[in-house]
Amino acid sequence: MTLSNDLLLKAAKGISTDRTPIWLMRQAGRILPEYRKVREKAKDFKVMVKTPELAAEVTIQPVDILQVDAAIIFSDILVIPEAMGLDYLMEENKGPVFPKRIETASDLNSVHVAATEELDYVYQAIQLTRRGLNGRVPLIGFAGAPWTIFAYMTEGKGSKTFSHAKKMLYLQPELSHRLLNMITDSTINYLRGQIKAGADIIQIFDSWAGVLSPDQYSEFSLRYIKRICDAIQDVPKIVFPKGAFFARAEMERLDCQVVGLDWNMGIQESRSLMPSKVLQGNLDPCALYGTLANVKAEAHKLIDGFGTGGHIANLGHGLYPDTEVDKVKCFINEVKEYSASKQKVKS
Amino acid sequence: MTLSNDLLLKAAKGISTDRTPIWLMRQAGRILPEYRKVREKAKDFKVMVKTPELAAEVTIQPVDILQVDAAIIFSDILVIPEAMGLDYLMEENKGPVFPKRIETASDLNSVHVAATEELDYVYQAIQLTRRGLNGRVPLIGFAGAPWTIFAYMTEGKGSKTFSHAKKMLYLQPELSHRLLNMITDSTINYLRGQIKAGADIIQIFDSWAGVLSPDQYSEFSLRYIKRICDAIQDVPKIVFPKGAFFARAEMERLDCQVVGLDWNMGIQESRSLMPSKVLQGNLDPCALYGTLANVKAEAHKLIDGFGTGGHIANLGHGLYPDTEVDKVKCFINEVKEYSASKQKVKS
């Protein structure tokens, strides 16, 4: 299918575009009243994730309402542990909880490498979304980085420190590598399924990259992200290593086109550490709490900082649920107009 | 009083020592059965903080038990908001909660700049501790950085994102600066009181530095830390900006002798960004979950990384409460012996 707006794919491939493309992490989510309505109807978050019609509906909402340049399939990174045999609950305002977590070698025997077909409901949602989008914008598929998935499976829930997860890395490194390998194989199967179903580009979220030391990050995270990047060759790849500022030089050597920055990471420093990468990001999500005038100023600062090429505009983290829709629309619109006007002056 | 062990003060002043001095953030705390006994007796955390005899007792415990090279006065950074008129509760396993938080200009009228004498119970604890230590090791005084204190006062509790606190920075920058100035004045009064009572060196904890963007950090945190550093001239100063890797070049220009690193910050990079500073840190607290052999190896790696001068050994964050005392002792002992042996070879 030919896309009528292929700005994101062009930018990801390093092709010059008339303006900077933009999408936002968590764009399909609680900030939209339309999303909250579907969520209410579905009662449970996981029902939404597992019902392709509902997942497709909320995936398309921000394309219509916010006019972003891409859709990202509505799902959760924790579908992988679930497909591997480790169930989780999503508690409102509390985040995910695993009734059982992986602590020992025998716990490891209770999980398996997820086969591609075990996540069929996601591929169905992708197919439905593609039909609904009808070529308007590209569709982003995604998965968690193996370390981030490992962190949830061993910690059993969200955490500021992930000290249980890290304890396993320090005390049982071999067991850790076995589990990380199983997650990696599952993730490769899963991303291949998403691409076959119609994902145009994929993003790997390493949400808990920042809790590891540089040495541990190389050993327990980056090597598995590398394995995924090497295995997936059909579509462009975005890697978002939240908090891993120290790994940027190593990121440059990954086989991916785009690296996402969080709002702590300086633009110029990141450009010089990763000269071959397109950069994505990196507005502080809290900047959208400002007045409309401030939000516009932040959009200008962002575009001035990244320049008009080699950049995909986004936040440095997911949208916070209490962000006002008007501010989000203002930011998106200003990024589009301001980058277009700068690009015009340049050419 | 002449100190029989003044390694920490010497190292902080850049004077060469026979071995690397070591102390640990949260060394007086839940890892010690002796601490837990006092805590049980006192019932409440805040009773311990406000009872000079109890605070002095647990401050001295790690000097006896762990053989660290310094004591740090047992207290809490939130005594400052309390003295300013904003009360907090410390809930077990939940952290601090403020029944009322600062949201508006009128809320600001309900707090005042804390006078030195309002924190008299801390100075009493310092005096008692000095007597108990009897010159064995130096005593560290401390306070939170104004941004970190502001974050708690406006968020009302701990948070992963501190989005309420940051919302205030974006929406009400003038109000934010007014509150930050009040906190800064209170903190200067407080640190002067601690030094007068006998603190030999002070540390400023900017625990939530890492949630701010580089621009916001300069404007809302660093400028107030600078004001404190400029105002306090009688003792050496340590600044610990957890997560603010991006501010290291600016830290170099602060009037402080020592900068604390978290475990994400690379040693060589930090040395080159802050050539004039003594560095403190930066073992990942989770590394103490390893086997004794691993803990020893981590101690060697740390000393090899920092070298035998310009370094105060510590963790990159506070000790986690479930760390085993034997591992902590092993780490401390190994840092002492290994750095002494390396220093001997050098000389």
Q: Write the pLDDT tens digit of every residue in B29-38.
A: 999 999 999 9
Contact (CB, 8 A) for A73 and A141: yes
pLDDT recorded at residue B68: 98
The pLDDT tens digits for A156-180 are: 999 999 999 999 999 999 999 999 9
* Distance separating alpha carbons of residues A95 and B163, to the nearest angstrom: 17
A92 pLDDT above the threshold of 90: no
Instruction: List the one residue out of A329, A326, A331, A325 whose CA is nearest residue A296.
Output: A331
Q: Is A142 helix (H, G, I), strand (E, B) or coil?
A: strand
Three-class DSSP labels, chain B: CCCCCCHHHHHHCCCCCCCCCECCCCCCCCCCHHHHHHHHHHCCHHHHHHCHHHHHHHHHHHHHHCCCCCEECCCCCCHHHHHHCCCCEEECCCEEECCCCCCCHHHHHCCCCCCHHHHHHHHHHHHHHHHHHCCCCCEEEEEECHHHHHHHHHHCECCCCCHHHHHHHHHCHHHHHHHHHHHHHHHHHHHHHHHHHCCCEEEEEECCHHHCCHHHHHHHHHHHHHHHHHHCCCCCEEEEECCCHHHHHHHCCCCCCEEECCCCCCHHHHHHHCCCCEEEEEECHHHHHCCHHHHHHHHHHHHHHHCCCCEEEEECCCCCCCCCHHHHHHHHHHHHHHHHHHHHHHC
For residue B71, the distance in angstroms to the closest alpha carbon of chain A comes to 25
The pLDDT tens digits for B268-292 are: 999 999 999 999 999 999 999 999 9
- A305 in contact with chain B, both atoms CB, cutoff 8 A: no
DSSP A198-227: T-SEEEEEETTGGGS-HHHHIIIIIHHHHH
The pLDDT tens digits for B218-264 are: 999 999 999 999 999 999 999 999 999 999 999 999 999 999 999 99
Active-site residues of A, by number, are 26, 30, 39, 76, 152
Radius of gyration (C-alpha) of chain A in whole angstroms? 19
Q: Looking at residues B148-153, what average pLDDT do you find?
A: 98
B163/A243 touch (CB, cutoff 8 Å), yes or no: no
Closest-CA residue in chain B for A268?
B246
Give the pair of three-digit tokens for residue A129.
């979304």
A306 pLDDT above the threshold of 90: yes
Residue A345's pLDDT band (cuts 50, 70, 90): confident
The pLDDT tens digits for B293-347 are: 999 999 999 999 999 999 999 999 999 999 999 999 999 999 999 999 999 887 6
This model's pTM is above 0.95: yes
Domain A7-346, CATH: 3.20.20.210
Instruction: List the one residue out of B15, B121, B62, B31 whose CA is nearest residue B327.
Output: B31
Q: How many CB atoms lie within 10 A of CB A134?
A: 11
Contact (CB, 8 A) for B139 and B130: yes
Give CA separation, A159 vs A90, A106, B68, in Å: 15, 24, 30
Give CA separation, B315 vs A8, B15, B58, B158, B281, in Å: 43, 22, 20, 21, 5
B1 pLDDT above the threshold of 90: no
Active site residue B26: yes
Residue A152's pLDDT band (cuts 50, 70, 90): very high
pLDDT recorded at residue B119: 98
DSSP lists the bridge partners of residue B201 as B140
Half-sphere exposure of B262 (CA within 13 A, CB side): 28
Partners of residue B171 in chain A, C-beta under 8 Å: 289-291
Partners of residue B216 in chain A, C-beta under 8 Å: 284
pLDDT recorded at residue A91: 84
User: Number of H helices and number of E strands within chain A?
Assistant: 16, 9
B163/A245 touch (CB, cutoff 8 Å), yes or no: no
Residue type, A87: D
* Distance separating alpha carbons of residues B70 and B3, to the nearest angstrom: 11
A170, A266, A294 ranked by CB distance to B289: nearest: A170
For residue B251, the distance in angstroms to the closest alpha carbon of chain A comes to 16
Which position among B35, B88, B152, B224 bears the catalytic label?
Answer: B152
**pLDDT over 90 percentage in chain A:** 96
Give CA separation, A157 vs A71, A152, A153, A161, in Å: 28, 6, 8, 11
* Distance separating alpha carbons of residues B340 and B17, to the nearest angstrom: 9
For residue A265, the distance in angstroms to the closest alpha carbon of chain B comes to 7
> Which of A22-31, A263-272, B84-93, B217-226 shows the lowest per-residue confidence on average (mean pLDDT)?
B84-93
Total residue count of chain A as it appears in this document: 347
Cis peptide before A282 (omega within 30 of 0): yes
The mean pLDDT value of chain A amounts to: 97
Q: How many CB atoms lie within 10 A of CB B142?
A: 21
Give the pair of three-digit tokens for residue B173.
């920058």
The pLDDT tens digits for B34-81 are: 999 999 999 999 999 999 999 999 999 999 999 999 999 999 999 999
The pLDDT tens digits for B6-33 are: 999 999 999 999 999 999 999 999 999 9
Find which of A220, A286, A289, A315 to mutate to test the B interface (most B CBs within 10 Å of its CB): A286
DSSP A28-97: SSTT-HHHHHHHHHH-SHHHHHH-HHHHHHHHHHHHHHT--S-EE----TTHHHHHHT---EEETTTEEE
Residues 6 or more apart whose Cβ sits within 8 Å of residue B253: none
A102 pLDDT above the threshold of 90: yes
Give the pair of three-digit tokens for residue A306.
């990244």
- A241 in contact with chain B, both atoms CB, cutoff 8 A: no
* Distance separating alpha carbons of residues B342 and B17, to the nearest angstrom: 12
Residue A71's pLDDT band (cuts 50, 70, 90): very high
Partners of residue A263 in chain B, C-beta under 8 Å: 213
A1 pLDDT above the threshold of 90: no
- A214 in contact with chain B, both atoms CB, cutoff 8 A: yes
Residue B92's pLDDT band (cuts 50, 70, 90): confident
B163, B246, B286 ranked by CB distance to A170: nearest: B286
Partners of residue A294 in chain B, C-beta under 8 Å: 170
Q: Looking at residues B197-215, what average pLDDT do you find?
A: 98
Residues 6 or more apart whose Cβ sits within 8 Å of residue A126: A73, A139, A141, A194, A197, A198, A199
pLDDT recorded at residue B345: 86
Closest-CA residue in chain A for B247?
A264
